[in-house]
Amino acid sequence: MRKACAVSAVIAMLAVATSGSISHAQPEEPSADEASARLATVGTWDFEATPNSLDENPQCRETWQFADDGTGWVQSDQQRVTNNWRVLIYRARYPAIVVYRTPLSSNSGPDCLNDTIDPDSYPREERGFILTFLGDGSARVCGAAEFQHSFDGKRTAPLIGGREDCWGILRPATSEM
């Protein structure tokens, strides 16, 4: 009996020791309110867009702003898009933070890829992306948040691919625009 207890104690200590040393462990996901508050508390974020997350060279840099009233904007070179935003948490096999953004208006300036968009094409349809907060205060932006559908045709949960489906990183802004 004593030997079994000692073995159990050693196994428990090893489990605790190894679980604390795994750097890739995903932190517990926040609630929708907590995720919204985190975005709004930081307020202004620097965004680096990459063709995919495996390429560390930014293709484009933008500034994203989230206000606690659900409004915000994205500044991409000379183009500024005003938005409404909201956060939902989908729980399927694992929780996913989905940020929905509705572009409301834009000026006619070129974005960071030198593309222009007709301001008369706004407002636009709400679209979502998946956000994963990282331990260093940044957040990975992934996927276009496509959805699985239930038998009754309702959207149920986002389909989340691998790291290659990620297309950028948000970091708390170093300067306000």
Helix (H, G, I), strand (E, B) or coil at 17: helix
Residue 87 has what pLDDT? Answer: 94
> Which one has a higher pLDDT value, 13 or 72?
72
Q: Give the model confidence (pLDDT) of 39-72 as tens digits.
A: 999 999 999 987 654 556 678 899 999 999 999 9
* Residues in contact with 4: Cβ distance below 8 Å, sequence separation at least 6, in sequence order: none
Upstream peptide bond of 123 is cis (omega within 30 degrees of 0): yes
Q: Is the pLDDT of residue 85 over 90?
A: yes
Helix (H) or strand (E) holding 87: strand 79-91
Query: Could you tell me if 63 and 74 are in contact, meaning their C-beta atoms sit under 8 angstroms apart?
Result: yes
Q: Is the pLDDT of residue 107 over 90?
A: yes
Residue 22 has what pLDDT? Answer: 30
Q: Go through the chain and tell me how many residues it has.
A: 177
Residue 157 has what pLDDT? Answer: 53
Residue 58 has what pLDDT? Answer: 72
What letter does residue 24 receive in the DSSP assignment?
Answer: T
């996901």: which residue's tokens?
Answer: 29
